[in-house]
A = this chain, B = another copy of it.
Amino acid sequence: MSTASDLIAQLDKLSIGKPEILEHAQVKGGPEWKAELEKAGKTGLGMTKTLLFKPKTAKTATPTPVLIVSLESSEYTSAAIGKLLNLKELRLASEDLIKETFPGAESKDDVSLFSLPTPAPETLHLILDEKLASSAEQHPFRIAGGAVTAFLTGKEIRQFLASVKGGEGEKGLKVVDFQQFKSEGGEVKKEEKKQPAAPVASGIKPQTVKKDDDQYEMAIRFKKEEDFSGWYTEVLLKGQMLDYYDISGCYILRPWSYTVWQTIQNWFDDEIKKLGVQDCYFPMFVSQARLEKEKDHIEGFAPEVAWVTKAGSKDLEEPIAIRPTSETVMYPYYAKWIQSHRDLPLKLNQWNSVVRWEFKNPQPFLRTREFLWQEGHTAFLHKSEAEQEVLQILDLYEKVYTDILAVPVLKGVKSEKEKFAGGDYTTTVEGFIPTTGRGIQGGTSHHLGQNFSKMFDVVVESPDTTLADRKMYVYQNSWGLSTRTIGVMVMIHGDDQGLVLPPRVALQQVVIVPVGLSKAEGNNEGIYNKCLQLERELISAGIRAKADIREGYTPGWKFNDWELRGVPLRLELGPRDIAANTTLSVRRYDNQKTPMPLPDIAVTVRKYLDDIQSAMLVRAQKTFDERLKIVTKWEDVVSTLDAKNALIVPWCEAEKCEDDIKERSKGQVVEGVAEDAKAPSAGAKSLCIPHDQERFGAFPDGENQKCIQCGEKAKRWTMFGRIPGRGNDTICRT
């Protein structure tokens, strides 16, 4: 059974009423599912999880899988369940066993309670969380296929599962009070408490176990190259960069990621202060009249503006918006504060959050409803001063990526079609994600010309008394960089083991792990003390180090834990190392092992961290350069894009031609190649016209070079590429 109508029929036979059925986008994993339900207004639900375990049995024996259906919030350990059922060492089941248990399941997405055979085999243990079983509320259960959810009360699911298993009792459905269980305090395995078991039925595929079973639940269960989106979510969650939140599109920035942002903040803030920029804070609220003052500017934001209409139980006289950006908030005050050319230049910046209530699929860091950023807004008497600043800021943005995040970017100017609508032109730093072959905008620095100053009447009298008309509208810039930076960094450096953090932004740069420990208790004090001493020595040299002397975890478990979290350098310290007065260092980004003498270790480590920082950029730059393909013939465009590259092409810079390129590079059938339904179908957009044209050499046809698409005269080399498929870029609108 796998469709909603099958389910309804079956429930009907059990005299269970017709359940509410919700169709939604195909989802993978719990957070995506929850987000889909929330989009449909199904918030505050008691989510459910379904896990399939396999006890340790002889290889030749028939497997006796254990299926546990519970509230997502309920806690239990597989050990305690094993004890209850008198089974040994329960582990999450392999994909083969999952398919066997849910016959007809063609893929992991087909897994659903409603796909269980009726009657279920005797070998299957079926456990239901008592808290769920007794709930009178509606809970969501996925129907095979991953795009349909049914809502049943606890009682109904109990009735359904009992019918599948031929009743309740020893051989039937077992309803278990996990709470009871927990307080009875069976032997709880730390590892299991540490990392909740993997939600099988919500579509996360268990990996085969490597070194030891302990690593099982900790590892990233998606390959970066195979399922980039699943990998990205898991790396962020398990790396403790962020957590999902009960409002869709909002995420919690945990210290591991917020530190990255603070590092960027501190550096960038110092740099702009050297340029004479001052920080300030404008209110997050904007009156409707002010927000809508400039129709063209607001047009792009209007559908996404969040409106406050109530305070306490009172309706406000007039709705008040939460800023989606601050032009209309700030510029009326620029008009007020700038009374004379002596008040120029005015250079203000603010670190704040803005809200854009997008209804499209949110993505952590890259597309969120609230995000942190800085927005700089400056005003000058002369155009030349403003234009100089545009480039100074762009250089700083480049350095944020290259020097802090070890991420290569390409500086350039946006095409007319892609520029910030309210401005004269937009400069940008463009990144590239090799795994997906997509370009990504890293930060933009706009020259607004006099467009806004005319709109908001920001005007002074020219100091030049010889002019006939001394009225001068000021020249303005605006520039913004957001927490998107963090997402790009994760996408570039992370690998199948988890996060890989550049040393400059790692909250913890070095982990010291004791190895070669004795099993006899109390025998390891010497090693632990040496680890702590090393920690103190590094910390006092300004290195963010930590000795991991947690008991009850194997060194291997700790290695994996810190690898998952991306700590740049591991130092292993055991009896032999201590005897030799050395430590074995292991670099996260390339796993290189190097012994280091303990004397002067802080100097060695400091230097080594700097080397890692540089080497990470060099490696990423190499890939970036390799994937930036110069293409001069149209027939090479789609195949080069399909091979996950970005293009550098000779282009005429006409808007119509840009539209045509996008259209023609979209899911095109290449001659001699069968059309692949799964081929990337997004068309290529212009990403930037690089400032450094010389890097790509002269046009092959020199003065006569034709545009790659339309054949008109080409103007400059231009970077084209596919971008993450889901609509407009978040940042490009300031």
> Could you tell me which A residues sit within 8 Å of B by CB distance?
41, 43-44, 183, 185, 188, 190, 193-194, 243, 245-247, 250-255, 258-259, 261-262, 278-287, 289-290, 302-313, 317-320, 322, 333, 336-337, 339-340, 342, 348, 352-353, 355, 357, 359, 369-370, 372, 461, 470-471, 507, 550
Contacts and interface: CB of A to CB of B under 8 A. Distances in A.
B307 A370 contact: no
A591 to B, nearest CB: 27
Contact of A193 (B309, B312, B340, B470): B340
A231 to B, nearest CB: 22
A45 B281 CA distance: 25
Given A307-B308, A312-B302, A283 B318 contact: no
Contact of A41 (B262, B286, B290, B317): B317
Contact of A372 (B281, B317, B340, B359): B281
A333 B252 CA distance: 10
Given A306-B310, A310-B306, A311-B304, A194 B285 contact: no
Contact of A280 (B258, B310, B550): B258
A475 to B, nearest CB: 20
Contacts of A317: 41, 43
Contacts of A246: 287, 290
Nearest to A343: B194
B308 A312 contact: no
Interface of A is mostly: mixed
Contacts of A282: 245, 252-253
A280 B255 contact: yes
Given A44-B289, A340-B190, A283 B185 contact: no
Contacts of A320: 247
A289 B245 contact: no
Contact of A44 (B286, B287, B310, B369): B287
A305 B309 contact: no
A285 B339 contact: no
A314 to B, nearest CB: 8
A374 B289 CA distance: 32
**Which 8 A-B residue pairs are closest in the complex by CB-CB distance?**
A41-B317, A255-B278, A311-B357, A250-B283, A303-B312, A307-B310, A253-B281, A44-B289
Contacts of A307: 308-311
B305 A306 contact: no
Nearest to A313: B303
Contacts of A283: 245, 247, 250-252, 370
Nearest to A309: B309
Nearest to A350: B258
B250 A285 contact: yes
Given A252-B282, A280-B255, A333-B252, A193 B313 contact: no
Contacts of A247: 283, 285-287, 320
9 contacts: A190-B342, A193-B339, A194-B339, A252-B280, A255-B348, A285-B369, A304-B311, A307-B309, A309-B310
A254 B337 CA distance: 11
Nearest to A357: B311
A253 B280 contact: yes
Contacts of A507: 278
B287 A258 contact: no
Given A247-B287, A254-B280, A307-B310, 9 more contacts: A245-B282, A246-B287, A246-B290, A250-B283, A250-B285, A253-B282, A259-B278, A284-B370, A310-B319
Given A340-B190, A340-B193, A306 B311 contact: yes
Nearest to A340: B193
A311 B318 contact: no
Nearest to A190: B340
Contacts of A359: 311
Nearest to A39: B317
Contacts of A286: 247
A584 to B, nearest CB: 26
Contacts of A306: 308, 310-311
A470 B252 contact: no
A219 B318 CA distance: 37
A318 B279 contact: no
A259 B279 contact: yes
Contacts of A357: 311-312
Nearest to A303: B312
A158 B246 CA distance: 57
A339 to B, nearest CB: 5
A297 to B, nearest CB: 16
A38 to B, nearest CB: 9
A308 B507 CA distance: 35
Contacts of A352: 353
Contacts of A311: 303-307, 357, 359
Nearest to A305: B312
Q: Which of A255, A279, A290, A308 has the most CB of B within 10 A?
A: A308
A580 to B, nearest CB: 31
Contacts of A255: 278-280, 348
Nearest to A483: B281
